[in-house]
A = this chain, B = another copy of it.
């Protein structure tokens, strides 16, 4: 039943509008238990000379990139070890935290830290969640399982992981990672140390 009308300045693309249409629908569904089909969104566009605030027209700013897509590209670049490309997606104050280590700020540090932990790792995605936080950052979560090889060449897979990203102004500013590698390694080790 609920009907949402959005008034925006002209200039957003069909993809931006699709994201707005979906986000506004879901914002309503977060509170009102209406079936999606019962929620209507209408976008009303205005050319600049049709909009005044404080007696003057205002230009509309370009849409923010989809943070989910940004994170996807970043993770793909990392998996391909294309550090230059990945670096280009990071904000100035980027920090990341991985299981069992201190926060790091450089991708190189991460690579060095990972070296003795696994030969390589590949992500299989189970799902993404993305939203605007009440602060400046958009939040993107992605979760799924890791597969790859331990330093000794033993393969592993099915290890659960989740990453949380903060994205501001189209740049990734924070990455937090949790996974079950420690559990798995622990179990393996426990097995090993058994007499």
Contacts and interface: CB of A to CB of B under 8 A. Distances in A.
Given A28-B20, A164-B143, A179-B178, A6 B7 contact: no
Contacts of A32: 8, 12, 20, 60-61, 63-64
A46 B7 CA distance: 12
A176 interface: yes
Interface in A36-75: 36-46, 49-55, 57-58, 60-64, 67
- Give the oligomeric copy count: 6
A120 B128 CA distance: 32
Interface residues of A, number: 89
A185 to B, nearest CB: 6
A13 B188 CA distance: 54
Contacts of A33: 61-64, 169
Contacts of A9: 1
A26 to B, nearest CB: 4
B28 A6 contact: yes
Interface of A: 1-9, 12, 14, 16-46, 49-55, 57-58, 60-64, 67, 97, 99-100, 129-134, 138-139, 141, 143, 160-162, 164, 169, 176, 178-187, 189-190, 193
